[in-house]
Homo-oligomer: A and B are copies of this chain.
Amino acid sequence: MSTGHRKRATIRDVALAAGVSVSTASNALNGQGRTNSETRDRVKRIAEEIGFRPNALARGLLSRRSHSIGVITNDTYGRLTLPMTAGVSEALVDHGVSVFLCATNNDPRLAQLHLEALLDKQVDGIIFTATRLDHTPHVDLSSLPMPVVYAFAEGPANSVSFVPDDSQGARLAVEHLISLGYRRILHITGPEDFVAVRRRATAYRGCLDAMGEKSEVMFGAWGEEWGHEAVHRILSRPEPQPDAIFCGSDETARGVIDALRDHGLSVPSDIAVVGFDNWHVVAAQTRPALTTIDMGLKELGRKAGLAMLDLTQGKPVEFGIKAIGCSLVIRKSCGAV
């Protein structure tokens, strides 16, 4: 059985077979310079026949563009990284750019190792990504010989960053509840030291303030357990109870919904619930299925990829932190028709 480890055809083989010089072959293949259309077609046909593919290493050496970029992430689990990286990759593959994925596992040594490998490989740019917006790289990205883009992370002021618009996402959720007539809306969310948590909470308060309604935020751990605990707490205090709960994560929302059911309250007729993340495995399987906010991570990745493309091509790119709009996904837990 052929292992297929035959030597690969080079442009010399093409030139030889076509009876032209290497440079003519190159010109013909790349449509550069003046080439007789007949020779050009012949060269192209022969290249196709012998399965010639240009060596990107050689090209890169000359052009100083490797057509590859690196994505550095601290996320091994993949919930945020993979959709985002898929978006990046999708934006770039049509331009022949491939993506090195480097998971640092929050280990500075690993981060440094990966970074050095990327630099050696002459990547055209680096995208830094993290599990939380206020996470900082374990390596110095401030003076690299190539552009750096931050995705789901906030870089320094003179950099290009893309983050989900947490404020707008929270507003989307709360305004949805308000439009359905809910007024006593509670916010159960994650730990206050997450910047995203604070932004969502602030936006939530803003909406209720504008309506002249009271607001209340309960900070806690991420996860379902906190949802249970929070519900127990509020149900054991005097009336009036909230008529809707906006949760800072789908996991918390799931905990909230389960706890409400345990207490004999039904969602959404007794209390409506909206989550945040649209993490399918959670949101689609709560009972009832969860109305939630989608951060559009893939699109965020696509935007980051396109910005990187522009940067590598020397096109002007607006600096600063760009907030990407979230969208509302309506399921049964609130507002389904």
**Does A61 lie within 8 Å of B57, measured CB to CB?**
yes
Q: Chain copies in the assembly?
A: 2
Question: What 1/0 mask marks residues of chain A from 1 to 41 whose CB sits below 8 Å from any chain B CB?
Answer: 11111101000000000000000000000000000000000
Question: What 1/0 mask marks residues of chain A from 141 to 182 whose CB sits below 8 Å from any chain B CB?
Answer: 011111000000000001000000000000000000000000
A331 to B119, CA, bound (A): 44
- Interchain nearest-CB distance for A214 vs B (Å): 31
**Does A2 lie within 8 Å of B143, measured CB to CB?**
yes
Residues of chain B with a CB closer than 8 A to A285's CB: 223-225, 251, 254-255
Residues of chain B with a CB closer than 8 A to A86's CB: 76, 103, 105
Judge if A96 is at the interface, Cβ distance under 8 Å.
yes
**Interface size grouping (class) on chain A:** 35 or more
**Chain A contact residues: helix, strand, loop or mixed:** mixed
Residues of chain B with a CB closer than 8 A to A1's CB: 158
**Does A98 lie within 8 Å of B98, measured CB to CB?**
no
- Interchain nearest-CB distance for A328 vs B (Å): 21
Question: What 1/0 mask marks residues of chain A from 218 to 229 whose CB sits below 8 Å from any chain B CB?
Answer: 000001110000
Residues of chain B with a CB closer than 8 A to A223's CB: 285
- Interchain nearest-CB distance for A289 vs B (Å): 10
- Interchain nearest-CB distance for A172 vs B (Å): 24
Judge if A189 is at the interface, Cβ distance under 8 Å.
no
Residues of chain B with a CB closer than 8 A to A114's CB: 93, 98
- Interchain nearest-CB distance for A93 vs B (Å): 5
Instruction: Given A6-B145, A68-B121, A77-B82, answer yes or no on A100-B100 (Cβ-Cβ < 8 Å).
Output: yes
**Does B282 lie within 8 Å of A68, measured CB to CB?**
no
**Does A82 lie within 8 Å of B81, measured CB to CB?**
yes
Judge if A83 is at the interface, Cβ distance under 8 Å.
yes
**Does B78 lie within 8 Å of A81, measured CB to CB?**
yes
- Interchain nearest-CB distance for A96 vs B (Å): 6
Partner-contacting stretch, out of A48-56, A203-211, A231-239, A240-248: A48-56
Residues of chain B with a CB closer than 8 A to A57's CB: 57, 60-61, 66, 121-122
- Interchain nearest-CB distance for A120 vs B (Å): 4
**Does B4 lie within 8 Å of A144, measured CB to CB?**
yes
- Interchain nearest-CB distance for A12 vs B (Å): 14
Judge if A291 is at the interface, Cβ distance under 8 Å.
no
Judge if A333 is at the interface, Cβ distance under 8 Å.
no
**Does A102 lie within 8 Å of B83, measured CB to CB?**
no
Residues of chain B with a CB closer than 8 A to A105's CB: 86, 90
Residues of chain B with a CB closer than 8 A to A4's CB: 142-145
Say which residue of B5, B70, B93 sits within 8 Å of A113 (CB atoms): B93
Judge if A58 is at the interface, Cβ distance under 8 Å.
yes
Judge if A134 is at the interface, Cβ distance under 8 Å.
no
Residues of chain B with a CB closer than 8 A to A100's CB: 68, 98-101
Residues of chain B with a CB closer than 8 A to A193's CB: none
What are 28 contact pairs spanning A and B, CB under 8 A?
A2-B143, A4-B142, A5-B145, A6-B145, A54-B120, A55-B120, A55-B122, A56-B120, A56-B121, A57-B66, A57-B121, A58-B61, A71-B101, A75-B82, A77-B78, A77-B280, A78-B81, A78-B83, A79-B281, A82-B103, A85-B101, A85-B103, A86-B103, A93-B102, A93-B110, A98-B102, A99-B100, A251-B281
